[in-house]
Structure formats: C-alpha cells, structure tokens
Amino acid sequence: MLKKKAIISQKSNKTAERKTGKAVKKIRRAKKNIATVTGMRDILPQDQKYWEKVRQVAKQISIDYGYDRIDTPVLELTELFVRGVGAQTDIVEKEMFSFTDQGGDNLVLRPEFTAAAVRAYIQHGMLNQIQPVKFFYLGPLFRHEKPQSGRYRQFFQFGFEAIGEENPALDAQLILMGWNSLNDLGIESVIQVNSIGCMSCREEYKKVLVKYYKAKAKLLCESCKTRLTKNPLRLLDCKESGCQELKDDAPQILDYLDDNCKEHFMKVVGYLDELDLPYVLNPYIVRGLDYYNRTIFEYWAIDDVEGKNALGGGGRYDGLVTMLGGREDTPACGLAMGLDRIVAKMREKNIEVPDKRVDVFVAQLGDAAKKKAMLMYENLRPNGSFTIAQAFHKDSLKKQLELANKMKVKFTLIIGQKEVGEGTIMLRDMQGGVQEVIDFNKIEKELKKRLEKYREGAVIDLTADEEEKESSTEIPEEDVADLGDLGDDLAAV
Ligand code: HAM
C-alpha cells in the first residue's frame, strides 16, 4: 500500500515538474524577442539610399516613356491569380499567402502585379481611353517560396504594363526600358529573349516536346516528371543539372511559330538590333506564369550565366484581359524588375550611391536661443535650395557640434543668449573652421550665396589669414574668446 502511494506521489511529482517545465518554456517563449517572419526582412535606414536610388531611376523611366503610376491593393481575391496567373503555376499552386477573411472572402497577399493591373484596367473601363493604357507600379509582393539568397517571401518590384496594343515596337520599347533602368543604375546585364508563339503554335510544340521528354522520363528530376503532364514548357527552364543536359537536344519553340508569330518576333528582334541592345535569343526561357504568349524576356546580370537570379522579366500577354472578363482580343505587354536583387547586385558590384546630403546644421545654447532657433528652423526649412538639420533635444553645444561634424555639413548656424540679444547669428564654415557673426535677417541669403560657391567648387575664405584657412573644424582660441556665452562649449569641440 505504502509502495503504491510512493509510486503515485512520484508520478504526480513528475507531472507537476512537466507542468512547471511547460509553463517556464511558455514564459520563455513569451519573453523571447520577436523577430521578422521567415523570408521577410527589414530594410534598415543605412540601406535605404540604394532602394531610393532604384525607385528614383524607375520613376524617371516611367516619365521618360509616358507610363502613369497605379497603386493596387496589397490584398486581392484569390480568384484573380488563379484565373490570371494559372492554377498549375508554382506561384498559385504553392506560393500564395492566402486566407479566408471574417466575411468569408478568399483573399491573397498579391504575388505579382500584372493580373492586378489588368483587373484595374477592366474594372475602371479603361478600354475607352486612348490605347495602350500605360501603367507604372512599384511596391511589395508576397510569395511563400523557399527562402534563399535572392528569393524572399516579401520582395519588391517596379514594373510597366502597356494594355491595348500589339505592335512589336511596344515589346521592343519595354525590353529597352528594363535594360535602361539597369544601365542607369550601373548594372551590366544581358537580355534573354524568346517567343513562345500563340496558343495554336504552342499546342503543336507541346506535343513534340512531350514526345521528346517522354522517351527520357527516367532521367528527369521529380518536379520535371510532374511538369511533363502538367506544364511541359517548364521542363525547359529546370535548373537541375540532369534536366539541363537533356534540354540541349530538345525541340525549339522558334521552329514551331506560325507565320504571324514569326513575323511579330522578327520585328521585335529587328528593333533590338536597331537599338543596339545586348541580347541573346534564348529558346529555353519560358517564364513561370501562364498568361504569356509571343515575346518573353528576362534580364540576367552579365555574370549570372545560368540566370539563377534574374533581375527582371516580362513579356506579352494578349489573352489575359479576356481571361479576366475584359473585351476579347485586347493585346498587352509588360515587365517587372526585382528591387531586392537589383540592390543586392549594386552592393556586390560596389556601385556607389552618395549619402543623403545635409548642408546646414542649426545649433543653439540656452533657453531663449533654443526658442529662437526653433522658429528660425521653420522659416529656413522650405527654402528649396539647401537642406538643414538640428538637434533641439540637446542642450550641450559641444554635442550639437559633434553631430554637425558627423553629418559633414558645410555650415553650422550657432545662436546663444548674446546673439539673441543682438539679433545676430554665428555662421561657422565647418571645412575651414572659420566663423563670422552675421545679421539674423540675412541668414537665408548668406547661406544660399555661400553654398552656391561651394557647389561651384570654390572654397570660401572668410579670413585673410592663410593659416586659418587650412585649420580643421577646431575653433581657434581667439575666436572662442569672442564668442561670449558660446565660448566654453565651442572651445571643447
Ligand atoms: P517574375 O519573373 O515572377 O515576373 O518576377 C519578376 C522579377 O521579380 C524577377 O526577375 C525577380 O527579379 C523578382 N522576384 C520574383 N520573385 C522574387 C522573390 N521571391 N524574391 C526576390 N525577388 C523576386 C512577374 O512577376 C511578372 N508579373 C512580370 C511581368 C510584368 N510580366 C508582364 N508584365
């Protein structure tokens, strides 16, 4: 009996321990720092200059070629991409972040922009506008892919879509726009171009392709075995080495284009030649989305010979408008570039982007001076020709000047009790370390004049003394003596 009791108490001890252990784990988990979701990342302030540069170039290209900005919602109905991108594609089959909302709607975080752009074109009756309607977009997308270098679950694209025109000049110009955006950023790339013809050329081609691969089915990777029945064109862009070898002898789509598709493609290529663009005809690119027909293309960095991390891609999608319920026979063409991969390439190639420039720092010492400086800052802020910074939360002049040094500003405006009383301000040239007292009401004019000279390349010499001109940001002792209230702090900088 006693033994039984002992066993029972041992058991309950263990259960209690387990419970405590679980509770501790739960608390630890609750206390653990929360990090970003797998495959997603923060873009930190120090990296923003690269992203901003890419956005600037993209916006400039949109202006240069007349594409107007469109922003579509991040959430769309699942149906849009199932119908638009294709139920059999990797994106729709495996990669969509989808959920049912409180109202019972099946929604997804958008995995791409093209279907959304076409939805907007139809929804807002844009076929009544001058064609083609030309969209430019930029924003985040979501695909639940296996996270790896250059492949994120939240990534960014900018892109251009031209809806309502089938002229091959449009295909060539879009190809040019993508290439120009990389070139303007200093990235060397080679354009990979192909045509997958129209539906009828493709049906013919698929038959011979399946016949070719069926005979070699044993040698295919597992995914390609499935592709053989579900999406045979994708056999051609498998990156597995065994499958890569097989594709060398595979039949090529270009040999199966009908006369119209061939003529269209020849014209596109003719324009590319005329524009002297670096392109290769690559019969193996097929693109992973079902809406394409005729021209398709990708941008590979010059050193990415296998195209493992395409920087962008696009093509013609003449059937998508109809597929999404719009008017029959509405041709369209577009492209999208991946910002994440472009930024990574810029960093890999050490492509320099200048830091944000601050021209003038406003420093203050004492309560009355702080108030005056805050007001002055608001008046100077919209000046349109120079940028300013401040640290009004700081009281120590030394700390403010250290900050101004760190920001590499050209000038610091310093205001103390004495200056408030006299209606003046001290203008300090940070390069020469020289300062002079100027009338408070002439600040903006003086700064503009001096900064203009700086930008012209001239070093401003406020003193006649050559030695002083060479001095660093340190303030000469005799000046410190003249500074009244500010002297102690300035002397310490
Ligand atoms: P896409 O090839 O799926 O095409 O994507 C275009 C570019 O987005 C890729 O070349 C790549 O740079 C970037 N990208 C794609 N997935 C990821 C990822 N998981 N992580 C980082 N970057 C990625 C489209 O999306 C089509 N809508 C393009 C288009 C526009 N076709 C016609 N119009």
**CA-to-CA distance for 159 and 182, rounded, in angstroms?**
13
Q: Which two tokens stand for residue 58?
A: 């993209």
291 and 428 part of one domain:
no
49 and 177 part of one domain:
yes
Q: Which of 155, 316, 320, 324 is the best mutation target for the ligand 1 pocket, counting ligand atoms within 8 Å of the beta carbon and taking the most? A: 155
Q: With contact defined as beta carbons under 8 Å apart, do 387 and 374 qualify?
A: no
**CA-to-CA distance for 189 and 180, rounded, in angstroms?**
10
312 and 383 part of one domain:
no
Please check whether residue 239 lies inside any domain of the structure. Answer: no
Q: Which range of residues forms the domain containing residue 460?
A: 360-492
Q: How much distance in Å is there from the Cα of 184 to the middle of ligand 1? A: 20
Q: What is the pTM of this model?
A: 0.86
Please check whether residue 252 lies inside any domain of the structure. Answer: no
E strands, 276-338, in order: 279-281, 293-301, 312-316, 332-338
Per-residue confidence of the chain (493 residues) as pLDDT tens digits?
A: 445 555 555 666 666 666 666 776 666 666 789 999 999 999 999 999 999 999 999 999 999 999 999 999 999 999 999 999 998 888 998 999 999 999 999 999 999 999 999 999 999 999 999 999 999 999 999 999 998 999 999 999 999 999 999 999 999 999 999 999 999 999 999 999 999 999 999 999 999 999 999 999 889 999 899 889 888 998 998 878 888 889 889 999 999 999 999 999 999 999 999 999 999 999 999 998 999 999 999 999 999 998 999 999 999 999 999 999 999 999 999 999 999 999 999 999 999 999 888 999 999 999 999 999 999 999 999 888 999 999 999 999 999 999 999 999 999 999 999 999 999 999 999 988 899 999 999 999 999 999 998 888 755 444 433 333 333 444 444 444 344 445 555 554 5
Q: How much distance in Å is there from the Cα of 312 to the middle of ligand 1? A: 6
Atom of ligand 1 nearest to the CA of 342: 12
Please check whether residue 479 lies inside any domain of the structure. Answer: yes
318 and 465 part of one domain:
no
137 and 169 part of one domain:
yes
Please check whether residue 279 lies inside any domain of the structure. Answer: yes
Name the domain count of the chain. Answer: 2
**CA-to-CA distance for 37 and 150, rounded, in angstroms?**
16
Domain C-terminal end among 348, 375, 393: 348
In the block, residue with structure tokens 């070629």: 65
Give me the CATH number covering residue 151. 3.30.930.10
> How many C-beta atoms surround the C-beta of residue 189 within 10 A?
25
Give the residues across from 332 on adjacent strands: 163
Q: Is 178 in the pocket of ligand 1 (CB under 6 A)?
A: no
| 97 known ligand binder | no
Give me the CATH number covering residue 425. 3.40.50.800
Q: With contact defined as beta carbons under 8 Å apart, do 213 and 228 qualify?
A: yes
Q: Is 326 in the pocket of ligand 1 (CB under 6 A)?
A: no
Q: With contact defined as beta carbons under 8 Å apart, do 287 and 313 qualify?
A: yes
